[in-house]
Amino acid sequence: MATTTQSLASLPVEPEPIRSSGRDRASAPRRRGLLLRHVVLAAMAALTIVPVLLAVSTALKNDEDVRVDPFGFFTSFSLDSLRRAWTEGNFDNYLVNSVLLSVPSTLLIIAVSTMAGYTFARLPFFGRTVLFYLVVLGLLVPFFTYMIPLYFQLRSVGLLDTLGGAILVLTSVGVSFGTFFMRAFFSDLPEELEQAARIDGCSEWQIFVKVMLPLVGSGIGALAVFTFLSTWNNFLVPLLYLPGGGYRPLTAGLYTFMGGRSIDVGPLAAGTLITILPVIVLFVVLQKQVTAGFISGAVKG
């Protein structure tokens, strides 16, 4: 069991294979094959990226062009739509709200999952298995199964339409996965480390904070990026549990904006761009962590 997760966990951190370089410099037919591969790959990559380019192109058109030819690629340039989305469309507030929702819930998920993951990996006690099954059940049951009762429950305790309530729900949605994820990282650490620290006189708390925690930094980083992206992208939680429209984030703002899709394509495109731009920037800058996070997350989950 432990060896399985260990071998699987080594997937993302493995360096680029050196041996495959032998395939790059090869005989003439092999080289032609490689060129063909590049042609096919480039065509497919271009096709994949078209919708993203469409969002950028439409957001950057001038007013007249948006009316006449909203989906022609890069036929004009203007920042008017962005300006209108920002000022009239409230996307400046939405952006702030997105940060207010995703940052605290990401931090909460990481703190709670790290603590719980450590316990489920290394600190046995009576009743732990039952709690772990609860966490696994949270991974298996789709959100919409209990989202309706949760609505009435939040209303009855006064958490509906509050920032705190929405943050807590977002946290609860991500915490099952986070716990599962961090548990796999803590399970991979060698037992000897813990014993050595204990002989050196460390308390259990010191072993956790000073010895084990620094060793799962890459896991925490991957989880942070993954969690931030999924809370940023979540629109159902704010849509359902912030019905009054206060603290409405970008995703929910976009959804409510969609009603007038044919009329106001320009600002809608600009709003879309404002919503996906942080995601794209984060994704490109932290490309390695994101993919590593998704891979190990999927493999461990």
User: Which residues, 82 to 111, sit near other proteins by CB under 8 A?
Assistant: 111
From the CB of 143, what's the least distance to other proteins, in Å? 8
* Cα 57 to Cα 29, 116, 188, 251, 264, distances in angstroms: 40, 45, 46, 20, 15
CA Rg value for the chain: 24
From the CB of 261, what's the least distance to other proteins, in Å? 7
When asked if residue 34 is in the footprint of other proteins (CB under 8 A), the reply is yes
Structure tokens belonging to residue 40: 């096919």
Structure tokens belonging to residue 209: 């904070």
**Binding to other proteins, residues 169-228 (CB under 8 A):** 169, 171-172, 175-176, 179, 198, 203-205, 208
Q: Based on CB atoms, which residue is closest to other proteins, 54 or 100? A: 54
Q: Which of 19, 29, 214, 259 binds other proteins (CB under 8 A)?
A: 19
Q: Based on CB atoms, which residue is closest to other proteins, 86 or 208? A: 208
Stretch touching other proteins by CB under 8 A, among 76-84, 99-107, 141-149, 216-224? 141-149
From the CB of 155, what's the least distance to other proteins, in Å? 10
Q: Which of 27, 29, 45, 158 binds other proteins (CB under 8 A)?
A: 45
Q: Give phi and psi for 162, each to the nearest 5.
A: -115, 150
Q: Decide if 222 contacts 287 (C-beta within 8 A).
A: no
- What does DSSP assign to residue 82? H
Q: Decide if 299 contacts 11 (C-beta within 8 A).
A: yes
From the CB of 241, what's the least distance to other proteins, in Å? 11
Size of the site for other proteins (CB under 8 A): 108
When asked if residue 43 is in the footprint of other proteins (CB under 8 A), the reply is no
Structure tokens belonging to residue 111: 């703190």
From the CB of 231, what's the least distance to other proteins, in Å? 11
Q: Which of 103, 189, 211, 279 binds other proteins (CB under 8 A)?
A: 279
Residues ≥6 apart with Cβ < 8 Å to 280: 52
Structure tokens belonging to residue 128: 């732990």
Query: How many contiguous H segments (helices) and E segments (strands) does the chain have?
Result: 16, 0
From the CB of 64, what's the least distance to other proteins, in Å? 15
When asked if residue 268 is in the footprint of other proteins (CB under 8 A), the reply is yes
